[in-house]
Structure 1
Amino acid sequence: MKLPALLALASALVLSSIAGAASAQDIELGKLKISAAHARPTVPMQPAGGAYVTIENRGDNPDTLISASSPVAASTQIHTMRMEDNVMRMREVGKLELPPHARVTMKPGDGYHLMLVGLRQPLKSGERFPLTLIFENAGRTEVMVSVDEAPGR
């Protein structure tokens, strides 16, 4: 992806995703609790979108989110967004470490998110799609992601 397109995509994710909405689905996988799986609608021809979940490690041992996938995209990558030198920077991190008794809340604009690359169709408000998460120790689970508008629109 070329830099101008990547910057436009990052800006679109930040601007269209001001706040997260909770999903009614909570998944228990060993000592992990996965909740609040959601995504924002995309526009036609948008090549990528973001998905967000909250992962709580209730155990005494660390775990790691090592990959994710969804049939709505060609690939799903674990990304982080951080403000560096007054510039919002997004980068793929490959994995997400989950320390014991810690919670990671993925959210738009700052922190972690799951980048859905090569969308096969637009993500439409009111729809849901499956997202598979694979953890180093806890194994694999599937969550349903709700597509919804940012509050206040």
Structure 2
Amino acid sequence: MISIQRLKLCGLLFTLFCAGAAQAQTVTVRDAWIRGTVQGQSATGAFMELTAKAHARLVAASSPVAGVAEVHNMRMENGVMRMFPVAGIDIPAGRSVKLASGGYHVMLMQLQKPLNAGDKVPLSLTFELADKKRETVELSVEVRDVRGQPVKSHHGH
């Protein structure tokens, strides 16, 4: 027979497990991709859509293929589009924010090697939540060609 204490312990562990699983899913990442590079290119951008269940802020990024990864934005200054690092990107609860060419994006710099279309690149995104706790999302991101087009399969041709 199962004791009441054992049932309580199982219930507590289940509750803690569910709470951890829910927290780990505060931010959902969709359609992530990295622009491929050409020989000699030392930087590129990563793009995606971020959706938050509760308010979150993208505060950092990292990847083993880049010596430096920063969150960037672009703006027009004196008729010239300029890129600059930002401290973070707010993602309001229940909303989505697109990281796209010409706007917010993750800049991967000091690349360790060329990134070719079809490659998969590890990318870590760190979010600060409303309670100031941090959550990291680990991704394996597809590299697209320099125009941002996905690699097309030639199966069935």
TM-score tier (shorter): 0.7 to 0.9
Please identify the structure whose Cα radius of gyration is greater.
2
Match of 1:101 in 2: 94
Deviation at 1:96, TM superposition (A): 1.3
**Amino acid paired to 2:96:** R
Match of 1:146 in 2: 142
Match of 1:18 in 2: none
Structure 1 gap ranges (5+): 1-27
Of 124, 128, 133, the residue aligned with 1:136 is 128
> 2:71 aligned with 1:75, yes or no?
no
Q: How many percent identity over aligned positions?
A: 36
Q: 1:102 to 1:84 in 2, by over 3 A?
A: farther
CA distance in 1, matches of 2:37, 2:87: 24
Compare 114-123 and 84-93 and name the one that shifted more. 84-93
Q: Secondary structure at the match of 1:39?
A: strand
Match of 1:14 in 2: none
CA distance in 1, matches of 2:117, 2:57: 30
Deviation at 1:83, TM superposition (A): 2.4
List structure 1 segments (4+ residues) > 3 angstroms apart after TM superposition: none
Aligned pair count? 122
Task: Please give the TM-score of this superposition, normalised by the length of structure 1.
Answer: 0.73
> 2:41 aligned with 1:49, yes or no?
no
Cα RMSD after superposing both structures? 1.8
CA distance in 2, matches of 1:44, 1:83: 29
Q: 1:113 to 1:29 in 2, by over 3 A?
A: same
